[in-house]
Structures are given as C-alpha cells and as structure tokens.
Amino acid sequence: MLAIARAAVLHQWEEKLNARIAAVISNRPDARGLQLASNMGLTTQVVDHTAFADRPDPRTAFDDVLRQTIDSYEPTLVVLAGFMRILTPGFVVHYEGRLLNIHPSLLPAFAGLHTHQRAIDAGCRFAGATVHQVTTELDHGPILAQAVVPVLPDDSADTLAARVLTQEHVIYPQAIEIFLKSHV
C-alpha cells in the first residue's frame, strides 16, 4: 500500500492520470497500513471481518458491507494490497475488470498460501510476484506484470519472501500506472 501511495505522489497520478487514492480500507483495525496512510493524509476506514463471525453467512455479510464501503468512494479501480481474505464471487463480479491484486508467486504456479515454502520444496530455481486482475477463480486472473527473483541454495521461506517483497513494491505501482493509462 505504501509503495502504491508513494508512486501516486511521485508520478503525479492525480494530475497526469486523473487518478487518486480515494481511501485505504482494511479488514483489520490494527493494520499498520492504516497509520501509514493516515500519516500521508489519506482517508482510512475499517470494515472488521471479525464483526461478522456470528452471521449465518459471515463471508457474504462482510463482503456486502465492504462493497458498500468501497462504493461510497465511487472508485474506478480497486487495488488489493496485503488483503488476505478470499472474496465471494458476487464481490469479485461487482468489480469485474477493475479489481487488481498482487500474489507472491509466478502465477499460475503456487496459487494460494505458503507460496515461498512451496517453491523451495518444489526445487524451483526462480520465484517471484504477479500482479493480476482478480477473477472468481483464486489467483487466476489476467496477468498484468511479473517479477522474477532467484531461489538461492540457502533460502528459507522468509529470506525468499523478503526478496520477492522488494520486487512487489516495484511492479505493483508500475502495473497500476500502466492499467490506469490504458483505461483513461
């Protein structure tokens, strides 16, 4: 989130692309990104997923409130950054074509969780990150950008994750900017 917000300022997205970060919304009240966003003067809001645990269908109830919250800002584009929840098909379809995510693997390989350890266990020589459009199939949307990093012989999941994260911070803002330019 911070890399994206910084890129928006540095590359003057509002002036050049008529695009601004309308809000940073988190499902976790203690998310570090909320404070960082607030420090940058960005609007923040929380839709705490734990508040929906006792509902008959907590995922749908949460997604409905999240969608309403996002829609109140009238976004052209919705960017997931550090959002670790599987969204319902109805939510994804609502934002079809304008919902982006980043995944810490070279999709289509290693969709889902524990990507770095799975890449190491599989003997991969390379790992990386993928920016993609979100579809109803988990981690399987059209690919917008990828970055490759080597898997080193002494890598742990944590050391590999750290190298991949540095590339995520580079390619995600770039992919967003390219997406915005092609949809202006």
Q: Which long-range contacts (CB under 8 A, 24 or more apart) does 179-182 make?
A: 179/77, 179/100, 179/144, 180/13, 180/17, 180/19, 180/77, 181/17
Handedness of CA 26, 28, 33, 37 (dihedral sign): positive
Q: What are phi and psi of 146, to 5 degrees?
A: -140, 150
Distance in angstroms (rounded) separating the CA atoms of residues 92 and 34: 23
The catalytic residues are 103
